[in-house]
Amino acid sequence: MVPSAQAEPPDPQAKKKQLDSQINQSKADLHESYDQLSKSVAAYNSAEAQYKAVQARYAAAQGKLAAAKAADVVAANKLKAAEQALTTAQGNVADGEKAIAEKTQLAGRAVRSAYQQQNSLVGLSIVLRGASPTDLATGMQVQRNVFGIQGKVITGLNNAQAQLANKRAKLAEAERQVAAQRAEAARTVQEVTRLTQQVAADKAAAAQVTATRMVAYQAAEKDKNAELSHYNSLVAERGRVEQILIARARAEKAAAARRKAAKEAAERAKAKKENRPPRPVPDDPGNDGGLSFPINTYITSPYGMRFHPILKYWKLHDGTDFGAGCGTPIRAAASGTVTDRYYNGGYGNRIFISHGVIGGDSITTVYNHLSRYKARVGQHVRKGQVIGYVGSTGYSTGCHLHFMVYRDGRVVNPMKYL
């Protein structure tokens, strides 16, 4: 027999009553599930998404930083090469200017020598005193055919002037390249600095998100284990009750058979005394018209197998759930005797009514998650009589009635009898 409230407590997890009764938020996809599980799993999924995002950002920043550092090396090499070219160009210009000075002095000496010899280079000396180097070269070119002396000196000076102009042009280009490379090098240094700071920030964010993710993961695993433990306790409780009710059903059927056999013996004796054939003896009526709805309301969850969306396994929803506010009266589905009432960590406050043998089957109805009781153990109740009130005790996420039917000690679909 299932223990009553006056007998030894059947619930080994009675200390969890206060904690279990706190669960009051309804979840359609996790009906009769620990609400914290869905919250913790959602928190972990959010942390996981953030973790992946920050890891991707961190990796991208590292890649950009590596590219920026490589670009910085290239820019530094280009700047070094440009500065070397500038130094070379500056040296070449200096050498060119020195060569021009030397050739100018050489031409001057040639003019002075011609003057001293009274030749026709007198006119050229005039040019050398008052002309620029370019004009001087031009003047020399003109006088060359006139005077016909020192041709090599004049030609050398003219070539040196042309070379100097070319070297100065290269110097200007080298200076421009150096300025450009310095600007590029400065930009890459700034980018490396910015990306270094970004990588450091992303690394810190990644570390923080990793810690958050780990905490969320541990919480989700803890709640998953609690969910599984709760479900296993429900299965264990159902199996325990079934064993008791199977034995009770056998006893009830045996008692009904004995009662019928006694009635048949009495009918045979009476028929013999009245000198007539014995009449058929009907089975016990058992109840007054079958089972009725314990609450006149809507069904929120039917009996049957259900896939758990988080734990990824199938479980039996072993009754029919009726939605109703806490405190709604619950009525006996048929006349019978209250055999048990007690608290269970999974089913909450429970009350059992034995309806005897109906149509050859032993029928017991069970009402779960009650907020409080109205009927007491051992009390005979009539069909429709209030036996308790809707609640959300035990392993429940909202106010409702979880209604169960046992046939011959085995849990069955209540809708087959309603």
How confident is the model over 248-299, as pLDDT tens digits?
Answer: 989 988 888 898 899 999 989 999 999 999 999 887 665 556 799 999 999 9
3-state class percentages of the chain: helix first, strand second, coil last, to nearest 5? 55, 15, 25
Q: Which residues of 2-36 are buried (b: 16+ CB within 10 A; e: fewer)?
A: bebeeeeebbebeebbeebbebeebbeebbbbbbb
Give span(s): CATH 1.10.287, the chain.
Answer: 55-207
Distance CA 249, CA 1 (A): 11
Give span(s): CATH 2.70.70.10, the chain.
Answer: 1-30+285-418
- Compute the C-alpha angle 126/128/134, nearest 5°: 130
Place of tokens 């999924």: 45
**How far is C-alpha 246 from the chain's CA centre?**
47
At 31-41, the pLDDT tens digits run 445 466 667 77
**How far is C-alpha 268 from the chain's CA centre?**
77
Q: Which residues of 218-228 are buried (b: 16+ CB within 10 A; e: fewer)?
A: ebbeebbeebe
With a pLDDT cut of 90, the percent of the chain lying above it is 31
Checking if the pLDDT of 15 tops 50, the result is: no
Is 0.85 topped by the overall pTM?
no
The topology under which CATH files domain 1-30+285-418 is Glucose Permease (Domain IIA) (2.70.70)
Relative orientation angle of helices 35-116 and 151-273, to the nearest 10 degrees:
170
- For residue 332 the two structure tokens come to 């006996």
- Residue with more model confidence, 370 or 66: 370
Task: Please report the pLDDT score of residue 112 as a whole number.
Answer: 66
Q: What is the CATH number of domain 55-207?
A: 1.10.287
Q: Which residues of 239-259 are buried (b: 16+ CB within 10 A; e: fewer)?
A: eebbebbeebbeebbeebeee
Distance CA 257, CA 356 (A): 12
At 209-253, the pLDDT tens digits run 788 878 877 877 887 787 788 788 888 888 999 999 999 989 988
